[in-house]
Amino acid sequence: MAQPIHERRPPERSWREQDLSDLPEDGSRYEIIDGSLHVTPPAGPYHHELADDIRMAMRQAAPEGWRVIREIGVQVPAGNLIPDITVLKVGAPQDRMWAEPAYVALVVEVESPNSRRHDRFAKPALYAEAGIPFYWRVERGDFGPVVYRYELVKEVHYNLLGTVGPDDPVEVTEPWPMRLDPSAWPR
């Protein structure tokens, strides 16, 4: 019988990246924030379909050498996070489980009921602290997905660049020039 998560805590110290490999592969997302383990239950089919469609649209527009990856870990000063989509710059190591922030151009979080507060408050602050230039948060709107696009300012916090909904596709420049069209994604 597997040990419950609360019994897997390393004794008398904070959680570390290497501790994550001992956790079950049960579809939950295990992240470390300030030495504490944060567990998010598996997301639903809509969440995964939307993340897959965004990733594919970005991959089709990506310049050679850039990589668009689902659910790869990203190291941040306060721990380790797992964005829904991570865009890695040219030259990023290909064999690492946890990407260094210097190689990350953009992280995308697809909001779900179980991740809303983390995606809106905790994660952007940690991504900013890590120096990741761009952050997108995607949420389900009444008429389809809405993308909130943020840019890192003074390496301290994100400013809203704008929103893109299913009725207003636009050309964006981050992390490279491309057309962003949420009407092509699942509603």
Q: Which candidate, 131, 122, 62, places its Cα nearest to that of 99?
A: 131
Each of the 187 residues of the chain gets a pLDDT tens digit; together they read 455 554 565 658 888 888 888 888 888 999 999 988 989 888 999 999 999 999 999 999 999 999 999 999 999 998 999 999 999 999 999 988 899 999 999 999 999 888 888 899 999 999 999 999 999 999 988 889 999 999 999 988 999 999 999 988 999 999 999 999 999 998 8
Place domain 44-184 in its CATH homologous superfamily: tt1808, chain A (3.90.1570.10)
CA distance 92 to 89: 6
pTM of the model: 0.91
Q: What is the pLDDT of residue 2?
A: 54
Per residue in 142-180, is it b (16+ CB within 10 Å) or e — as a string? eebbbbbbbebeeeeebeebeebbbeeeeebebbeebeb
* Residue 39 · residue 166 · CB < 8 Å: no
Could you identify the residue written with the tokens 């710059």?
89
Could you state, in order of their start, the residue ranges of all structural domains in the chain?
44-184
Q: What is the pLDDT of residue 8?
A: 61
Q: Give the phi and the psi of residue 139 in degrees, each rounded to 5.
A: -130, 160
